[in-house]
């Protein structure tokens, strides 16, 4: 559905004609909550949030020398700098104690994503301990609803302004001059914490009720289609009030399922994103400690879907013990293959329903133990919850 210009947002295919018309009318009513370009982002009010960069007192400023780049890359960087200057994201600077370099990342359309190497600055800045939500809690609280809308902020971090006194610390050098960010750029150590704090400030009364928020990912969830229109209107009014803009190309409204932080959520429950399953199943047998840790890290993210994970992966865990030589054995290969085979048909997890009795299944082995937490639905059918081992 075109909201404005040529930009499109996806609507749920299972919406009735009446529901679809009501949803389209709502989106058109609040068309100003979408951004079509950098120029459409007024930014959050500085009374609500600004990004600050405190420094450890013992750290000294670092000025990076300009790195060599291919002429065609330099021209693409110039194009992006000009675009951000026009949008009011950047200002020129003559003197700065901190200077970083551009790290150009190629995009599919042939352009470059302009990242800045803020590693020196990040090392000098203390960590902001504002917490990000627990992913399993957020996913559990979203699943089993009937209707969802998945939304993404338009260049989300750039909608937060930099504190005036800290702008000079964001300086970066190009062949066309040195610039500082007037808005919060990507790549700063505490940018995610600042964004999450802003979202909690704006939506604290809606989080865990009508919506869930993980940095610039926002999900509205409802039990019925009519409730969803009401919930979206409340959300859109809040977005409009605080001038927070969404990216229409990355939004889906009124759908019955969708991807959320590596999982698929729907009225049925929680499933592993098939792309993550395929990525694991296509991995070759690891040969180094780094590759073993990479495999186990991927598995750990979906651990609650895998029964007897600790017992199955014991041969791999042994390889990571101190002073143990990496030797891929038949036991390691069997464990590796067993995990891949298990992921051919992983379970659908159903978050617990408050008020219903819980069922706990325990398995105890010589070197490990595991459990499964479940419930029964209204018909007496058992629903699988989390698997732990």
165 or 8, higher pLDDT = 165
**Structural domain total, the chain:** 3
Query: Does one domain contain both 309 and 367?
Result: no
Query: Of the candidates 241, 260, 279, which is a domain's last residue?
Result: 260
**Domain end call among 226, 260, 294:** 260
> Domain for residue 98, yes or no?
no
16: tokens are 């009735």
pLDDT band per the 50, 70, 90 thresholds, residue 360: confident
Among candidates 267, 271, 268, 265, which has minimal Cα distance to 225? Answer: 267
Taking a C-beta distance cutoff of 8 angstroms, is the pair 315, 335 a contact? yes
Taking 60 as the threshold, does the pLDDT of residue 297 lie above it?
yes
* 167 Cβ contact list (under 8 Å, min separation 6): 91, 180, 181, 182
| 366 inside domain | yes
334 shares a domain with 298: yes
Whether 114 and 102 have beta carbons less than 8 Å apart is answered as yes
CA-based nearest residue to 160, from 182, 183, 181: 183
pLDDT at 1: 54
- pLDDT score of 219 more than 70: yes
CA distances from 239 to 27, 207, 223, 303, 344 (A): 12, 14, 22, 36, 41
Please tell me whether residues 200 and 292 are part of one structural domain.
Answer: no
75 within some domain: no
| pLDDT score recorded for residue 151 | 96
Residue 113 domain flag = no
Residue that has been written with the tokens 């190009």 in this structure: 174
Q: Is 185 left (phi over 0), alpha (psi -120 to 50) or beta?
A: beta
Is 272 exposed, middle or buried, given 0-12, 13-18 or 19+ CB atoms closer than 10 A? buried
Q: In terms of residue numbers, what domain contains 246?
A: 2-37+134-153+193-260
Q: Are residues 245 and 303 in the same domain?
A: no
Q: Is residue 146 domain-shared with residue 25, that is, in the same domain?
A: yes
Mean pLDDT for the chain overall: 91
Asked, for residue 288, whether it belongs to a domain, the answer is: yes
203 shares its domain with 313: no
Band (4; pLDDT cuts 50, 70, 90): low
Instruction: Kindly state whether residues 149 and 207 are assigned to the same domain.
Output: yes
pLDDT of 30 above 70 = yes
Helices 274-281 and 289-301 pack at an angle, to 10 degrees, of 160
Residue 322 has pLDDT above 90, yes or no: no
Same domain, 232 and 337: no
386 pLDDT above the threshold of 70? yes
Mean of pLDDT values over 231-260: 96
pLDDT (tens digit, 9 = 90+) per residue, 41-58? 999 999 999 999 999 999
Residues 323, 327, 329, 332: is their CA dihedral positive or negative?
A: positive
Give 375's pLDDT tier (boundaries 50, 70, 90).
confident
Say what percent of the chain tops pLDDT 90. 76
352 within some domain? no
Report the CATH number at residue 219: 3.30.70.270
What is the rounded CA–CA span in Å between residue 33 and residue 227? Answer: 20
Assigned domain for 73 exists: no
pLDDT for 7 beyond 70: no
- State the DSSP H helix or E strand holding residue 113, giving kind and residue range, or none if neither: strand 112-116
Instruction: Give the bridge partners for 115, in sequence order.
Output: 103
Q: Give the model's pLDDT for residue 254.
A: 95
**Is 33 in the same domain as 143?**
yes
**225 located within any domain:** yes
Residue pair 101/191 in contact (Cβ under 8 Å)? The answer is no
Average pLDDT (358-374) is 80
Q: pLDDT tens for residues 154-208?
A: 988 999 999 999 999 999 999 989 999 999 999 999 999 999 999 999 999 999 9
Residues 279 and 198 occupy one common structural domain: no
Q: Are residues 148 and 252 in the same domain?
A: yes
Query: pLDDT by residue (tens digit) across 62-102?
Result: 999 999 999 999 999 999 999 999 999 999 998 899 999 99
251 and 286 assigned to the same domain: no
């Amino acid at each position: 559905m075109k909201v404005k210009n040529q930009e499109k947002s996806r609507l749920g295919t299972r919406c009735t004609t009446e529901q679809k018309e009501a949803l389209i009318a709502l989106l058109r009513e609040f068309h100003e909550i979408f951004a079509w370009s950098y120029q459409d982002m007024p930014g959050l009010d500085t009374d609500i949030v600004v990004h600050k960069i405190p420094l450890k007192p013992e750290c000294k400023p670092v000025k990076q020398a300009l790195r060599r780049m291919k002429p065609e890359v330099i021209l693409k960087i110039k194009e992006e700098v000009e675009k951000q200057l026009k949008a009011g994201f950047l200002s020129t600077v003559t003197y700065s104690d901190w200077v970083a370099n551009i790290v150009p990342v190629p995009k599919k359309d042939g352009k470059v994503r302009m990242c800045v190497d803020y590693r020196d600055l990040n090392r000098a800045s203390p960590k902001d301990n504002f917490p990000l939500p627990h992913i399993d809690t957020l996913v559990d609280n979203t699943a089993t609803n009937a209707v969802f809308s998945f939304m993404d902020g338009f260049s989300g971090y750039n909608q937060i302004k930099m504190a005036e006194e800290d702008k000079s610390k964001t300086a970066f050098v190009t062949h066309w001059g040195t610039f500082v960010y007037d808005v919060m750029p990507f790549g700063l150590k505490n940018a995610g914490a600042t964004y999450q704090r802003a979202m909690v400030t704006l939506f604290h009364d809606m989080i865990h009720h009508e919506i869930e928020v993980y940095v610039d990912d926002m999900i509205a969830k409802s039990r019925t289609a009519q409730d969803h229109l009401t919930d979206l209107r409340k959300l859109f009014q809040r977005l409009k009030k605080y001038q927070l803009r969404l990216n229409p190309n990355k939004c889906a409204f009124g759908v019955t399922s969708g991807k959320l932080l590596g999982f698929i959520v729907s009225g049925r429950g929680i499933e592993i994103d098939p792309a993550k399953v395929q990525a694991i199943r296509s991995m070759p047998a690891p040969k180094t400690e780094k590759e073993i840790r990479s495999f186990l890290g991927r598995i750990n993210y979906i651990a609650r879907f895998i029964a007897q994970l600790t017992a199955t992966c014991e041969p791999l865990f042994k390889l990571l013990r101190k002073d143990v030589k990496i030797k891929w054995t038949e036991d390691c290969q069997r464990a590796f293959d067993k995990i891949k085979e298990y992921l051919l048909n992983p379970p659908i997890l159903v978050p617990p329903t408050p008020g219903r009795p819980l069922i706990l299944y325990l398995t105890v082995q010589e070197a490990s133990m595991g459990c499964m937490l479940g419930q029964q639905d209204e018909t007496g059918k058992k629903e699988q919850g989390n698997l732990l081992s």
